[in-house]
Amino acid sequence: MRVIYLLEERIPSELRLLIVSKIEAAGFEYKLMFYSEPEAEQLKKLCWAQAVLCAPGRKLSKRVIEGASHLRLYQLWSSGYDKFDCDFARACGVPVANNGGSNGASVAEHAIMLMLAVHRQLPAMHQRTTTGNWAGNNHGMDLKMLSGKTLGIIGLGNIGKKVAKRALAFDMDVQFTDLEVQDLQASQLSNIRQVSEDELLRTSDILSLHLHLTGATNSLLNRENFKKLKDSVVLINVSRAGLVDQQALLEALESGRLWGAGLDVYPSEPTKAGDPVLNHPRVVATPHTAGSTLEILVKAIDRSIDNLKQVATGQEPNFIVN
C-alpha cells in the first residue's frame, strides 16, 4: 500500500526515523509530506497515496481533503482528533481513526504526577534545593498530600478510569461525572462513586479533566462553573485547553478559588513567554508531553501501522472517530 507520512517540521529526527522504520518494516511504499507544503504539492502526493499516517493529526484544508476523497484512511497516531477536520473527511467518504487510547496509561501517570507536583510545589522546591536558597522555606506549612483528598474526574473514559485506579492507590476519595457511564462493576471501579456535575464541582478538592474537545465541552469550566468550586481546589488538565475558559482560569488562580493547577495543554502551542497563567507560582506546566513516552510512542505507532495493514488487506479499520 502507498502511504503518506504527514508530519510537522518540529518532529525530531529520532522520532521520524522510528516511524519511517515501522512503515518500511510493514512493506509499505511511502512519501513524506509536511503540513507546511503548498496545497498543490499536498494534492499531488495525496493523489499518489492510498492512506495517510498523520503523526501528528492537524488541519488539512477542505480543498485538499476533498481532492483526496479516494483515500482509504487517515490514521492519527494520537487519541485526540479535534485538530483534524474529521467531519469534512466523513463528508468526503474517508474514515479517520485514532490510536484507540494506546497512550492512556502514560497520560494517567502524568495526571497523577501533576497532582503531586502542584501539591508539593515541586518546581519551587527544586529551585530552593539547587540554588541553596532555603530562606523562606515554610517547612511544609504550604505543602499538601493527596491522601484523603476528594478527586473529581470529569469524563470516565479510557484515561479517566486509569487515573481513578491510580488515585485509589494514594488513598484518595474518587468521584466522577460522565453521562455515558452506567455500569461501574464492568469497569472494575465499584469503589468510586458517580455524582452530578454540579455536586462534583461543589465537593471536589482536585478536578481532573478527561474529555475530548467538542462543541458541547468547549469552555466547560467557565466563570459560572468556577464559582461553584470550594476554595483552594487544584485543577489538572491533560486533555485539551479549550475545555477551560482561560481568562476565568486566571481569575480563579488569582482569587484563590484555585489553589493551583497542573497543565499539559494550551490554547497556543508552543506556548509563549509571559503568559500570566503559566507564570502563576502555583501552576506546574509541561509541554504537551503527557502521552509522549518512548514506550507509548512505540505502542501508538504499532497500533497505527496495524490499522493501515488491515485497510491494505480490505478490512475495516479499527478506532474510527468520524
Active site residues: 240, 269, 288
Which residues does 9 contact at the CB level (< 8 Å), separation at least 6? 34, 36
Question: Burial of 24 by CB count in 10 Å (0-12 exposed, 13-18 middle, 19+ buried)?
Answer: exposed
How many whole angstroms separate alpha carbon 100 and alpha carbon 117? 29
Q: Which of 264, 255, 301 is nearest to 283 (CA)?
A: 264
β-pairing, 258-263 with 206-209? unpaired
**Single-letter residue type at 290:** A
And the C-alpha cell for 45? Answer: 502526493
- The CB density around residue 71, as the number of other CB atoms within 10 Å, is 20
How many whole angstroms separate alpha carbon 317 and alpha carbon 304? 10
Which residues does 25 contact at the CB level (< 8 Å), separation at least 6? none
